[in-house]
Amino acid sequence: MECMMVTRSSRSEVGQTGERLAAQFLQRKGYEILGTNYRKKWGEIDIIAAKGKTVHFVEVKAVSRESTSGEGSREMDYRPEELVHKTKLQKVARTAATYMEERGDAREYQIDVVGVIMNEKAHTARCRLFEQVIDGEIS
């Protein structure tokens, strides 16, 4: 799914832009954004969203790369979501549990990942959602 135009940027700007694009992508898919960049000393959650009766804690992994061919197929060979390791997801899950506990929220929740591939040359981005990548009960 196309996200929007992007420009050349530093690594931190790529991350911030990726998070913004991921939030817009989720909104277009019917999610309500509840918050972003929720931090605890042991972890951070990029996006907190809700859809239906479920709270979604979303880790965003964004990369910026120029397509190497006119076909555009090469950019999809790279999967930024695969760079989100189990240890990172466990920190997200622990942080998610804290968020839910602090708010007294009894809803179901899950950990999701959005991979964002930004093509600087074409000024486009692709977002892919991977739902429930781990059980929300991990602490």
Residues 42-90: pLDDT tens digits? 999 999 999 999 999 999 998 887 544 444 444 445 678 777 888 999 9
The answer, yes or no, to whether residue 7 has pLDDT greater than 50, is no
Using left for φ > 0, alpha for ψ between -120 and 50, and beta otherwise, residue 49 falls in beta
Using alpha carbons, select from 133, 91, 81, 85 the residue that is nearest to residue 109: 133
Output the pTM of the full model.
0.80
**What is the per-residue pLDDT for 22?**
96
Using alpha carbons, select from 53, 62, 52, 45 the residue that is nearest to residue 112: 45
Q: What are 83-136's pLDDT values in tens digits?
A: 788 899 999 999 999 999 999 999 999 999 999 998 877 788 899 999 999 854
Domains of the chain are 11-134 (3.40.1350.10)
